[in-house]
Amino acid sequence: MKNHILVKRYTQGLAGALKDESEYAAVSRELAEFRELVSAHSVLKATLDNPFVAARRKAQIIRDVLTKSGFTGKTSRFILLLVDHKRLDLLGDMLDSLPVLWNERHSVTTFEVSSVVALADAQRKKLKAELERLEGRPVYLRYSIDPGLVAGFSLQKGNIIYDASLRGHLDRIKQKISEG
């Protein structure tokens, strides 16, 4: 629970510091690149994870990596802030929640769409158009594959789940039968 609160706090701060959509896109892309860079280099990752390496040394290594990689000032400052506060391990979770918090700040509703197979472009467009009509404002859809659904799909908006899957339908039938 503590990590969730920290992730949200740092991510909200980052989202609030970004001035427009192009800066948001650039910073989120660079943060993802940095995460990939660290995970792709096992020696760098081991050094950053090592509790016996001094925090000052880790910060210098990160500064060198950021400088050589050409990341923008805002991205570099955010990563160094995470390093200074020993929160770099939360970067992946922050990247996952950044689009949702960015959209919230701009009155865009986020839906998590889970399906058994990837939806075709026409299906995605139709689903997005219908959700925008129902919400009365723009929506952002995050897609994932869930083989356990059997057929159909499920939507999640915050804590609310709309289940249009065969598994959900069967679960509702099972519940009705068990209730008598």
Query: In tens digits, what is the pLDDT along the chain, a chain of 180 residues?
Result: 458 888 888 888 888 888 888 888 898 999 999 899 888 888 888 888 888 888 888 888 888 888 888 887 888 889 888 888 888 888 888 998 888 888 888 777 788 888 887 888 998 898 889 888 888 888 888 888 887 776 777 778 877 777 766 666 666 677 777 776
Global confidence as pTM: 0.68
User: Does domain 2-103 bear CATH number 1.10.405?
Assistant: no
Alpha carbon distance 169, 172 (integer Å): 5
Q: Residue 31: which residues within 8 A CB-CB, separation 6 or more? A: 75, 78, 79, 91, 94, 95, 98
99 in Cβ contact with 142 (< 8 Å): yes
For residue 167, what pLDDT is reported? 66
Q: How far is CA 52 from CA 48, 55, 58, 135, 139, in A?
A: 10, 9, 10, 52, 46
109-115 and 152-157 beta bridge pairing: antiparallel
Where do the structural domains in the chain lie, given as residue ranges?
Answer: 2-103, 108-179
